[in-house]
Structure 1
Amino acid sequence: MFRAIRLEAGAVQRGGREVCGPGAPLFVDLTPEPEHLAFLRDRFGFHPLALEDAASMDERTKYEEYPEATFIVVHRLGPAPTDEGLQARELHLFLTRDALVTVHSAPLAEIDRLLDQFADQFANGASPLARGPDFVLYRILDAITDAHFDVADHLTDEIEDLAGEVTGGTTEDPELLARILQARRTHALLRRRLAPQREVLVALARPGEGRVRPETAPYFRDVLDHLLRVTEEIDTGRDLLGSVMDVHLSSVNNRLTLVTTRLTLIATIFLPLNFVAGWFGMNLEILPAPLAKVVVIAITLALPPSLWWWFHRRRLL
C-alpha cells in the first residue's frame, strides 16, 4: 500500500509515488515493504537507523530527532480479534518541514477516516495540509488518543462488573479468577504502551522544539491532556482491580476456612464414638452387667446430637 496526498498552488493531488515531488506539503501513508522504504531513502534521505526501525513492527514507543526528520513510534491499542485482551498496532511517523510519512503494517481506522475527512475537506476548499504536516500529525495522534478513551472505559466497566460479582458472593465461579487475571494483564499492557507516549507528546508540545511550529504546539498540549486523563483512568482501574483481587482471595480463604472448620467439627463429633467402640471392643454379648449393652447403645446414640447441640450453641456450626 502506498497512498500520497499533495497540495500545490491550491490544487490537491492524490495518488502514489508520482505525486511525491518536493516543495509542497505532502502526506504519505504506506506499508513497510522494502521498495517503499527504499523510496523514502531516495526521496527524503531519511537516516538509515530510522528506516531500519521503520521496517520492524516490534519497536518501543520513541521520539528521535534526526537531521532529515523527526522519527516517532506510537501504538494504537484495541480489542483483540479473539475478544480476550488487547491488540497493539504499531505506527511509525516521519515528520519533516513539508511532509508527514506514516508507516504501518496493519490497517488503522484512524488514518482511513482521516483520509476520508481530508477528501471531503479538499472538496470544500479546505485543506488540513495547508496548516502544515505537523497539524496532520496532531490530527492522527488526537484520533488515536481519543480511541484509547473507549478502551479505558470498556476496561473500567469490566472491572466494575468483576467487583459486583465478587462482592455479590459469586466466588464459586471457577472462571472468575481467570477473568480477574486477564483484566490485570490487559491493564498492564495498556499502561505499558501508553505511559511512554506521554514523553512523545511532551516533546511535540514544547514550543520551538523539533519540527513543530509554535502555532501547532498548543494542539499537542491538548492531546497530552487527553492522554493524561486516559492514564489516570487506567491507574484508577488498576487500583480497583487490585482491591477486587484482594477481596476475591479473602472470600476464597474464608470459604476454605469455613469448610475446614466444619470438617474438623464433624471429626470431633465422631471421635467419642470411636473411643466408646474402642473401649468396649463392641463385644456386647459378653459384657458382665445386664444393662451394659443398653448403656453403651444409649451413650453411642446420645453423644452425636449432644455434641452437635453444644457446637451449635457456641456458634461453631
Structure 2
Amino acid sequence: MGNYHHKRIRHKNRKVNKVGERPGTISIPADALKPRIVVYSYNQTDLQVSEGTDMRTITEQLKRCTDHTHWIRVNGIGDAQLMEDIGTFLGINQLVLEDIVNTHQRPKFDEYDNYAFGTSRIIYLNDENELINCQFSGIIKENLLMSFEESYDDYFSAVITRIKAGKGLIRVGGSGYLFYALTDTILDNYFVVLSDLGDQVEETEERVYKSPSKSIMFDAQQLKRTFITIRRACWPERDKINDMIRSESPLINNDTKIYLRDAYDHCIQAMEIVESYKEVTGSVIDLYLSMVSNRMNEIMKVLTIISVIFIPLTFVAGIYGMNFSRQDTHGRIIPDNMPELYVQHGYVYTIIAMLFIALVQLLVFWRKGWFNKL
C-alpha cells in the first residue's frame, strides 16, 4: 500500500458578514467565482438546455418552456447584482440570499410560503489529496429548482446523465425529487471520500507496526481533523433530511419522501463510518505514543542496568583512588592508611574482584529475565 501524504482541509470562500451588519446583506467573498448559469428544462418527452451568465438566460428559457420542470444551476456566486435579480425574480427573502453567499452554513431545510430552501456541504478530495469543503444551496419552487455551487466542478454529472437519459422518476418527480437526487449524490460522494480516507487510515495503522515515526502521529491527527469535518457535515445533514421527511409542504410529495428515507439511512451509515474511523485514528495516535513511551522505558532500562553494573565498580575504583600516604613525613608507617596499596599483585586482584562483581550482577539480571525483555 502506498504512502498517502494527506494534506490539510481547504475551505472555499468561507466569509462571515461583519459584526453588526444588517441582516440580509449580500457580501460576496473576494475570491468568489463569476457565475456560470445552465438551465435544464425538461418534461417526460423533451429536454432543453441553455447556458449563459446573466438573468436573460433564465427568463428566456422559462418563457420558452412553459410546461417543463426547470433546474437552474448556478456555478459561482461572485455577482451580487445577479443574486439580487434572482431574489427579485423568484420572490426570495433577503436572508435566504445572504445564506447562499455566506458559505459557512450548516446543512438545513427551511420552509417559506411558496418555496423551500436547503443547504448541504459538498465534500470531496481533489487531485492534490486535499479535502475540499464547500456549500451547496437549493431553492425549491413548484416545477423549479435553483441550485448554487461555489466552484465550476461538475459534481452532479450523474444526475445530468439521468436527466438526459429520461429514465426513472427524474423527469416526472418534480423539483422536490430533483433536490432529493442532488442531496443523495452528495451523500454518495461521502462514501467515496470515506473509502479513500479508510485506505489512508489502514496504511497509517500499518506504518505504526512496521516503522513508527513522528510523521505517523501528524498524519493520524490530520485524518482525525478530516473526519471531524465530515462529521460536522453528516450530523446536520441527517436532521435536514429528517425535516424534509416530516415536511407537509406540497413541494416534497409522498413519493419523494420514500426515497428520502433511503437517503436518511445512507446518512446514518456515513455517520457510523466516520465515528469508527475517527476512533481508529485516535487509537493510532495513542498506540504510537504508547510505543514511543515503551521504547523510552526500554532505553532507560538499558541505561539503568549499565549504571547499576558500574556503581559498585566505581565505588571500588573511588576507594583505591584516594591518595592517602602509607608513611608520614617522618617515614613512620601509618597502619590504617590503605595497606592494600603494598600488597603484591594488588592491582590484578582488584581488577579480578571488579570483574567478578560485574559478572555476578549480570548473572542476577539474567536470572530475573531482564535481558529477555530488552
The answer for the alignment partner of 2:257 in structure 1 is 217
Structure 1 residue 56 and structure 2 residue 102: aligned? yes
- Alpha-carbon deviation of 1:145? 0.9
For the residues of structure 2 that align with 1:253 and 1:276, how far apart are their CA atoms? 35
Name the stretch that deviates more: 64-73 or 219-228.
Answer: 64-73
Contact 1:2 1:28 in 2 (8 A): yes
The letter for the 2-side match of 1:291 is H
Name the CA distance, whole Å, in 1 between partners of 2:92 and 2:302: 73
Given candidates 351, 356, 374, the residue that maps to 1:302 is: 356
> Which residue is 1:183 aligned to?
223
Which digits, 9 at most, give the CA deviation of each residue in 1:81-118, with x for residues without a partner?
Answer: 5325x211210111112210101111343323422432
Q: Runs of 5+ in structure 2 lacking a partner?
A: 1-35, 51-56, 327-340
Matched with 1:5 is 40
Q: What is the identity, as a one-letter code, of the residue corresponding to 1:36?
A: L
Q: Which moved more, 1:289-298 or 1:100-109?
A: 289-298
State whether residues 207 and 214 of structure 1, in contact with CA within 8 Å, keep that contact through their aligned partners in structure 2: no
Distance in 1, matches of 2:263 and 2:318, equals: 81
Which residue number in structure 2 is paired with residue 19 of structure 1?
Answer: 61
Deviation at 1:127, TM superposition (A): 8.0
Q: Give the match's secondary structure for 2:156.
A: helix
- Bigger shift: 189-198 or 27-36? 27-36
Q: 2:211 aligns with which of 164, 170, 183?
A: 170
CA distance in 1, matches of 2:119, 2:237: 9
CA shift, 1:182, in A, is 1.5
Paired letter, 1:235: E
Describe the shift of the 1:255–1:9 C-alpha distance in structure 2 as closer, same or farther (beyond 3 A): closer
Asked if the contact 1:269/1:307 (under 8 Å) is kept, the reply is yes
Which residue identity does 2:235 align to in structure 1? A
TM-score normalised by L of structure 1: 0.88
Measure the CA separation in 2 of the matches of 1:9 and 1:147. 28
State which drifts further: 245-254 or 110-119: 110-119
Residue in 2 that maps onto 1:252? 292
Asked if the contact 1:53/1:59 (under 8 Å) is kept, the reply is: yes
- Is 1:118 aligned to 2:163, yes or no? yes
Change (3 A) 1:39 1:119: farther
Matched residue, 2:192: 150
RMSD: 2.6
Q: How much has 1:146 moved relative to structure 2?
A: 1.0
Q: Does 1:200 align with 2:246?
A: no
Q: Could you tell me the TM-score, scaled by structure 2's length?
A: 0.76
Relative to structure 1, the CA distance from residue 93 to residue 23 in structure 2 (aligned partners, 3 Å threshold; closer, same or farther) is same
Greater share of residues in helix:
1
Query: What is the CA distance between 1:169 and its match in structure 2?
Result: 5.0
Q: CA distance change for structure 1 residues 285 and 249 in 2, over 3 Å: closer, same or farther? A: same
SS in 1 for 2:155: helix
Write out aligned runs for 1:48-87 (5 A): 48-84=94-130, 86-87=131-132
Q: Any gaps of 5 or more consecutive residues in structure 1?
A: none
Task: Kindly indicate whether the alpha-carbon contact (under 8 Å) linking 2:44 and 2:172 is maintained by their aligned counterparts in 1.
Answer: no
- CA 1:259–1:227: 2 relative to 1, 3 Å: same
> What is the CA-CA distance between 1:13 and the residue it aligns to?
2.8
Q: Distance in 2 between matches of 1:175 and 1:200?
A: 38
Partners of 1:100 and 1:133 within 8 A in 2? yes
Please say which structure displays the higher CA radius of gyration. Answer: 2
Question: How many angstroms apart in 1 are the aligned matches of 2:305 and 2:246?
Answer: 70
Q: CA deviation at 1:315?
A: 1.6
TM-superposed deviation, 1:26: 1.4
Question: What secondary structure, in the 3-state scheme, does the structure 2 residue paired with 1:58 have?
Answer: coil
Deviations 1:8-67 (A, max 9, x none): 795433222221347742110113222331221121010000011112222222222222
SS of match in other structure, 2:342: coil
Return the letter of the residue paired with 2:292: V
- Choose which of 174, 180, 185 in structure 2 pairs with 1:138: 180
